[in-house]
Amino acid sequence: MSSPSLPYWRLSGYYFFYFAFVGAFSPYFGLYLQSIQFSAWDIGLLMSQMQLMRLIGPYLWGWLADGGYRRISIVRLSSCISLVGFLAFFWFDRLGSMLVAMAVMAFFWSASLPLMETLTFDHLRERSAQYSRIRLWGSVGFILTVSGTGWLLDHVQVSGVLWVCALILGGILLFALLVPETSLQTGSGAQEPVARILAQPRVRALLAACFCMSAAHGAYYIFYSIHLAAHGYSKVEVGVLWSLGVVAEILIFLLMPRLTRRFGLRNLLVFSFVAAILRFLGTGWGVSSLMILLLAQVLHAFTFGSYHASAIAAINRWFPGRTQARGQALYSSMSFGAGGLLGGLLSGWVWDDLGAGWTYTLSAMFALMGLLLVQRWVRE
């Protein structure tokens, strides 16, 4: 699994803490905001700052990295400032000041992952199919924190999530300091300009489909815990349901090399979007049935696991050499940034008026649009 030239555990440790932060922040920070009397719109506005900064931040950082700046230096700087920005939440409790703190934290936090993705693929080189075996440690980190934080918050005040997130951000900074830089893979022959790559219909269609998939997940990442709590589920049960989805994600990451060889990236993407339609309809209308919720969470293996691994492999293949960091940044900006921003704001706007069922139906409609884009234009 590892070799002397591959810093497997240092890369895996970074992914572990990066997604451990997501596991503590996404499910429980909304509950903290609710506990200090923020409305659904306020919560959606605050949480969507993460997506807004992922819209405008990653391409700037990717442009700097492709322009010759050391990628790991940018990752280390951004990890440090995002930790400092988050610490402001220990003192702020007003919407305006929290928006500023969230924007600062999210702008620098958004820089890290696209650059770390390019570093990982450059360390892997010809072993790129092994990416999922490094990335799965992020899923392990997510599971441990989403379940552990759920248990913790059943015993302490919900503000305890602030301490959990701050400690995890410290872990991100530690591993950012440990991961080494590597030489950029430039490939052979002349490099195509980014604009020419983006002119390809398959590239534009994939980025648009990724936008739709992230928009479909907007209500899930912001309101899923609130949705479950409103129907009588305990914080431990909330944590278990979040964890189930990521366990399924880990299993699909382990199987991705074999699945890719057998079915191809396009077919995996098509199935992932079909799974998303079913998942969000079940989440919205089947919340009273634990069995439906369990089945919906298992589909996370496809709506994130196979979808993300397939999309990021295609982006890595279509944006070679010195366009790689910007390619990953565009993927992050269009999907987690623009798509997540629209999905988060839209769900915050309609949640109180339309209710959970119709909000998650909108999520399923976004997934349907992504499916049509992949089927029509994305080719291997």
CA atoms of 213 and 313, how far apart (whole Å) = 16
Q: Is the pLDDT of residue 180 over 70?
A: yes
pLDDT of residue 363: 97
Q: Is the pLDDT of residue 108 over 60?
A: yes
Are 316 and 193 in contact by the 8 Å Cβ rule? The answer is: no
Confidence of residue 186 (pLDDT cuts 50, 70, 90): low
Residue among 204, 212, 205 nearest 342 (CA): 212
Mapping DSSP to helix (H, G, I), strand (E, B) and coil, where does residue 25 land?
helix
Q: Which residue has the higher pLDDT, 7 or 209?
A: 209
Greatest mean pLDDT range, 114-118, 125-129, 301-305: 301-305
pLDDT, tens digit (0-9, with 9 covering 90-100), for 198-221: 899 999 999 999 999 999 999 998
Residue among 334, 266, 261, 275 nearest 303 (CA): 275
Are 299 and 276 in contact by the 8 Å Cβ rule? The answer is: yes
Domains and CATH numbers, the chain: 8-183+195-377 (1.20.1250.20)
Fill in the DSSP letter of residue 128.
G
Confidence of residue 27 (pLDDT cuts 50, 70, 90): confident
User: What does the DSSP assignment read for 50-72?
Assistant: HHHHHHHHHHHHHHHHHTT--HH
CA atoms of 113 and 179, how far apart (whole Å) = 13
Q: What is the pTM of this model?
A: 0.74
pLDDT, tens digit (0-9, with 9 covering 90-100), for 259-272: 988 998 899 999 99
Residue 241: how many CA atoms within 13 Å on its side-chain side?
Answer: 26
CA atoms of 229 and 356, how far apart (whole Å) = 12
Q: Is 193 exposed, middle or buried (0-12, 13-18, 19+ CB in 10 A)?
A: exposed
